[in-house]
């Protein structure tokens, strides 16, 4: 008696997807096999990037490298489709909030009409895992990273996570990456920190050269980078969908838009304090600003913004008023509008709670902004 024939338990549509996936896997094997033949025949260094084959003889490349048309089906494109993040979002330290509380908060933010929730990465909960959980527990809210540290993940792993989250959520995930800061990368992670722009450029190139052959999202997800200075903003314009500046001002937003030009997304963060008393608002702001005060990438940008070393060291009133929006709801809304008028596509507000507690969202502030 012969062995029973295994029959598929999935429908024709799913079978088609599986067959497409398997074909893609065989395509990948074909690329690797042909790369070995290429090296054996010519001795040239093989690269899976179609634009970087080192063959001097184009016939060798055509015959022995790989089928270019086939390879484009598994080649990563880091410039995505036109995802709508909404005009307003929320940026907050969800990496330090327990899951039940954080999930309820994300759902409440969604119900208030904010378009996107931004998640940071420091030494707390993993933002990509958290994004996956929030996407599974919300219906319309977009999730974005603000930002993920490129030193923490190999480029191919980052690409796979981005594509997976976008496919799982029907396009509600946006990836924003950054080079972080030398004290965090070397002092906390024990890794070597490279020149920011060159490091990010290399990472983007390796990410785009990575192979991802899982189920593709319906639309290519967007890729943003944390960009403060002119050179990083130029890189954002050239190789990604735009920039995510953090801890800046409307004047910086205008400068960023001028460098990016029209088209690339400009998604800026703005710290907000619902407090009309100037003295109280500034005192609430200073402990938050102190967290970033000694980080060189921020300091350099604040100096470019016209702040003095003394302004930064003292966290002067001038510094606080430039980088925090404080006052009543109308004053905060006016600051958000300043960013939009200066060229921002999206503003994610980070509310500072008057109780001084991180991880405790100031709901009155978030409700006032959307009211």
**In the predicted structure, residue 87 carries a pLDDT above the cut 50:** yes
Distance CA 27, CA 330 (A): 57
H helices present in the chain, as ranges: 12-42, 58-64, 68-71, 99-111, 127-136, 155-168, 182, 196-208, 230-239, 250-260, 278-292, 296-304, 309-314, 317-323, 329-342, 363-370
> Residue 119's beta-bridge partner residues?
145
Q: Is residue 10 scored above 80 in pLDDT?
A: no
Give 230-267 pLDDT, tens digit per residue.
Answer: 999 999 999 999 999 999 999 999 999 999 999 999 99
pLDDT tens by residue, 273-313: 999 999 999 999 999 999 999 999 999 999 999 999 999 99
- Name the 3-class secondary structure at 276: coil
- Give the residues across from 174 on adjacent strands: 144
Least confident of 19-23, 161-165, 182-186: 19-23
Share of the chain above pLDDT 70, in %: 80
**Is residue 180's pLDDT more than 70?**
yes
Quick one: pLDDT band at residue 76, thresholds 50, 70, 90? low
- pLDDT tens sequence across 45-72: 433 333 334 444 444 444 334 443 333 3
Q: What is the CATH number of domain 88-370?
A: 3.20.20.30
- Position 26 pLDDT exceeds 80: no
**Cβ proximity of 75 and 43 under 8 Å:** no
DSSP 72-135: GGGB---S-------SEEEE--GGGS-HHHHHHHHHHHHHTT-SEEEE--SSSS-HHHHHHHHH
């Amino acid at each position: 008696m012969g062995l029973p024939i295994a029959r598929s338990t999935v429908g024709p549509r799913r079978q088609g997807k599986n067959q497409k996936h398997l074909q893609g896997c065989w395509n990948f094997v074909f690329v690797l096999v042909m790369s070995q033949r290429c090296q054996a025949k010519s001795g040239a260094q093989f690269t899976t990037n179609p634009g970087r084959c080192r063959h001097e003889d184009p016939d060798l490349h055509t015959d022995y490298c790989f089928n270019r048309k086939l390879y484009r089906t598994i080649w990563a494109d880091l410039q995505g489709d036109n995802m709508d993040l909404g005009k307003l979002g929320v940026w907050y330290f969800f990496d330090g909030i327990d899951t039940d509380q954080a999930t309820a908060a994300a759902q409440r933010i969604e119900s208030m009409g904010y378009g996107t929730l931004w998640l940071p990465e420091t030494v707390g909960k993993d933002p990509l895992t958290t994004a996956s959980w929030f996407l599974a527990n919300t219906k319309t809210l977009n999730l974005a990273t603000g930002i993920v540290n490129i030193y923490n993940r190999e480029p191919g792993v980052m690409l796979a996570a981005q594509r997976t989250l976008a496919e799982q959520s029907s396009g509600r995930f946006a990836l924003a990456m950054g080079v972080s800061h030398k004290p965090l990368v070397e002092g906390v992670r024990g890794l070597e920190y490279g020149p920011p722009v060159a490091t990010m450029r290399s990472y983007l190139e390796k990410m785009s050269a990575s192979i991802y052959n899982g189920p593709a999202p319906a639309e290519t997800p967007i890729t943003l980078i944390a960009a403060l200075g002119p050179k990083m903003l130029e890189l954002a314009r050239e190789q990604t969908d735009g920039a995510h500046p953090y801890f800046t001002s409307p004047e910086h937003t205008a400068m960023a838009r001028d460098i990016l030009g029209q088209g690339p997304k400009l998604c800026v963060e703005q710290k907000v304090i619902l407090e009309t008393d100037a003295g109280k608002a500034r005192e609430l702001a200073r402990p938050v600003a102190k967290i970033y005060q000694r980080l060189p990438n921020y300091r350099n940008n604040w100096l470019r913004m016209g702040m003095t070393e003394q302004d930064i060291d003292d966290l002067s009133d001038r510094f606080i008023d430039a980088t925090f929006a404080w006052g009543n709801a109308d004053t905060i809304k006016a600051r958000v509008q300043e960013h939009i008028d200066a060229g921002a596509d999206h503003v994610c507000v980070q509310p500072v709670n008057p109780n001084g507690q991180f991880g405790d969202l100031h709901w009155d502030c978030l409700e006032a902004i959307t009211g």
